[in-house]
Amino acid sequence: MSVTINDVAKHAGVSMKTVSRVINNETSVRQATHDKVMASVKALNYRPNNSARSLAGTRSYTIGFIYDNPNAYYVIDMQNGILSECRNRNYELLIHPCNHQSSDLEEELINLINHSRIAGVVLTPPFSEMPNVAKILDNMQLPFVRIISGSGKGKQAASCIFINDHEAAYSITQHLLELGHKKIGFLCGGKEHHSSTERLDGYQKALRDNSIRPSKQMVIEGEYSFNSGVKGAKKLLNRKNRPTAIFASNDEMAAGALFAARLMGVSIPEELSIVGFEDSPFSRQTWPKLTTAHQPNQFIAQQAANLLISKVQGQSKQQIEEKHMIRSFSPELVVRDSTGPVKKA
């Protein structure tokens, strides 16, 4: 027979209402009472029925994750991170993929929110960067948190988890410059992603700070995919003044660039250094393994879910800040075997 909330209340010597407050993470419960109830929850192996909780009142205990991203590794990391925090806070997770370019996007989002009765949503790029999506959610008075590329400043900073792609891209480019590379090609991801612009700007700033004028000929526009990396690298390597290093906007593109170099008989890193971004499994499945920037996607997603649930529960800005939540991340350089010094003539 399953354990009920009444069983927990009797075991802890408190009312069912108090148990409910503890399970719902309400701030009005004293710490001693909270600890006593949670000890009973653990002792009895009690698992709250979130569907029943939602049906019993006007409050929902389900949050949504809306995404459209071709990188399966990124999506899985986001799902796992959000789900981890949902389990910690006794919430359910609804995962909903949809096409950000769809003409029916607004109708789809409105129907999802109305029919699923979710309490809030976590948005990742490109949705987190689309003003019309934020406007829809604001109009429906639905809490949301955006994971977005930026430095952590702006009017809506309180509802965002920031990734400082600019700083990380600067660091990667600086690493190549310190190895003696001056001709550095850049494979740019899709321009619908703000991260693409941030990474390009960081790359160009590092060049300028080292008295190197950025060249349009060294920048190839593409998409965040393996095939785009192959095509972009071939374009760069077929030029007379070809680069000695390539900075790809993500690891998948970098893996494609490495593949293209192999097909063209270019040795890595002796003749060409290649770097990626994000530290996805792609960076560790190539040979040689890719120099990249580590981005802790699962932890980032967990922090986003933590912030969202805190907002859903009506916690104040001060209460949220007191949790010492990490709200801004700067991916860290990871040096592997795909980069080396410029080959001497």
pLDDT in tens, 98-120: 898 888 898 999 888 888 889 99
Same domain assignment for residues 101 and 244 = no
Smallest CA-to-CA distance from 249 within 268, 272, 286, 221 is with 221
Same domain assignment for residues 114 and 131 = yes
> How far, in Å, CA of 56 to CA of 169, rounded?
49
Instruction: Write the CATH number for 257.
Output: 3.40.50.2300
> How far, in Å, CA of 197 to CA of 26, rounded?
41
Residue 341 lies in a domain: no
Neighbours of 70 (CB within 10 A): 11
Same domain assignment for residues 120 and 196 = no
Residue 338 lies in a domain: no
Q: DSSP letter at 70?
A: S
Helix axis angle, 72-88 to 297-312, nearest 10°: 40
Q: What is the percent of the chain with per-residue pLDDT over 90, rounded to a whole number?
A: 60
Statement: residue 345 has pLDDT above 80: no
Query: Percent helix, strand and coil across the chain, each rounded to 5?
Result: 50, 15, 35
Same domain assignment for residues 146 and 171 = no
Same domain assignment for residues 198 and 186 = yes
Residue 53 lies in a domain: no
Same domain assignment for residues 284 and 174 = yes
Residue type, 103: S
Question: Which range of residues forms the domain containing residue 18?
Answer: 5-48
Which residues have CB under 8 Å from 219's CB, separation 6+? Answer: 185, 186, 188, 200
Per-residue pLDDT band at 9 (split at 50, 70, 90): confident
Same domain assignment for residues 173 and 158 = no
> How far, in Å, CA of 310 to CA of 316, rounded?
8
Same domain assignment for residues 99 and 175 = no
Same domain assignment for residues 230 and 310 = no
Domain count, the chain: 3
Instruction: Write the CATH number for 11.
Output: 1.10.260.40
> How far, in Å, CA of 65 to CA of 122, rounded?
5
Same domain assignment for residues 76 and 217 = no
Neighbours of 121 (CB within 10 A): 24
pLDDT in tens, 131-167: 999 999 998 899 999 999 987 665 566 789 999 999 9
> Which of 252, 280, 295 lies at the terminal end of a domain, its last residue?
295
Q: What is the mean pLDDT of residues 184-199?
A: 93
Residue 188 lies in a domain: yes
Neighbours of 24 (CB within 10 A): 16
